[in-house]
Amino acid sequence: MNEVMNVINSRRSVRSYAPGPLSEQEIKEILGCGVRAPNGCNIQPLRFAVITDKGAMNRYNSIAKKMFSGHLAAQIDENPPGLENLKHLKRMMDDPKYDMFFGAPCLVLIFTAPCSMTPEQDSAVCAENMMLAAHSMGLGSCWVGFASPLGKDQQVLKELNVPADHKLMAQLVFGHPLKDTGVTPRNEPIILKWM
């Protein structure tokens, strides 16, 4: 395998970080790789908020957990299939010790401007580029879906200078992995048809 394939095949989500910060240069290199990703019609609609302030990250952790917990409570009331999984997630969100950012020193929120033709695709390939870049630099990353409620909190958006018509699409943390946990096993591709 070549170097790119090695990076792709050895990357994994990291959920435990060493306390040391990332340098501004490391963060800029990761962002630079993100904007090199393909985007619909080359409109380049992505915008970023970079949070390295630990106090802000702790507040955003609390805000997102509270909002996500409320969302889960509404789902639990409907008594859906998979109820035990939802209850487990709600207990996690309600635990004051749970840090959805895993002690990472850097949180990057990816927003799309309304001009985006393909916002989901644009942000997803950007996020993957950033995570692969981080891995190639010896850093860890994780896409934190639980932090998505931050995109609905007006105070957070105001604090981050996010225009009202922008939409939060991805929430990534970056840092130095606390330990090497190896690669997560994956199944072989499931091919529905090869013509």
Q: Looking at residue 130, what is its pLDDT?
A: 98
Q: Looking at residue 76, what is its pLDDT?
A: 82
Ranges under pLDDT 70 in the chain: none
Measure the CA–CA gap between 5 and 14, rounded to whole angstroms.
19
Residue spans of the domains in the chain: they are 12-53+100-175
Tell me the pTM: 0.93
Q: Looking at residue 182, what is its pLDDT?
A: 82
Burial class (CB in 10 A: 0-12, 13-18, 19+), 193: exposed
Give the start-end residues of each E strand in the chain.
Answer: 46-51, 106-112, 140-143, 167-175
pLDDT tens sequence across 148-167: 999 999 999 999 999 999 99
Measure the CA–CA gap between 130 and 37, rounded to whole angstroms.
9
Asked if 31 and 23 touch (Cβ cutoff 8 Å), the reply is no
- 12-53+100-175: which CATH number, 4.10.520.10, 3.40.50.2020, 3.40.109.10, 3.40.190.10? 3.40.109.10
Interior/surface letters 22-42, b for 16+ CB within 10 angstroms, e for the rest? beeebbebbbebbeebebeee
